[in-house]
Amino acid sequence: MGTGEKGLSDDYWSFTPGLYVSLRRGTLALDARKTFRIQDVFSQQDAISRGWEYSLDGAMARQLPLLGFNNMALAPVLELNLLVDQADQFSSVEVNDTESVVFISPGLKYTYGSMILESIVQVPIWENIPVTSLERDTRWRIGLRLMY
């Protein structure tokens, strides 16, 4: 859900199906994710659509138990992310405005029971950006997951 001029609004909805795979072997964790986001699912006919976004992510983490507790761990994380963003075409002029970016993302993950708090810095290491777009910059991602 996006934000509007007066706070939260329903101007932006997206649908993100994907495939998520996790492998755990002792204290080592390997994760892979492939998603395809269809943006502006409920957009109106005259509104500008944001198009679609494809991502492919791989992550590796090593769980380090904290203070001898079985339900608490700290894990350094390293991710490699590919992001492809394609806007919808609005005119008859054929323009290639597909953006492709590869990020390397070091971070830290804290696990307590069924809760995971993670912080990752995503640094672009390769970009294929059209002339009409701005370059991607380093970004910081914070996440909270509850597993059940």
Q: Whole-model pTM?
A: 0.71
Which of 117, 118, 121 is closest to 104 using CA atoms? Answer: 121
3-class state of residue 107 by DSSP? strand
Q: Rounded mean pLDDT of 48-74?
A: 83
Beta strands (DSSP E) in 26-114 are 28-39, 52-62, 64-65, 72-86, 99-112
Q: Residue 71, Cβ neighbours under 10 Å: how many?
A: 11
How far is residue 147 CA from its own chain's centroid?
A: 18
List of residues 6+ apart from 114 with CB closer than 8 A: 146, 147, 148
pLDDT of 8-36, one tens digit each?
554 556 677 888 888 889 889 899 999 88
Q: What is the pLDDT of residues 80-139, one digit of tens each?
A: 999 998 766 555 555 667 888 999 999 999 988 889 899 999 999 999 887 666 677 898
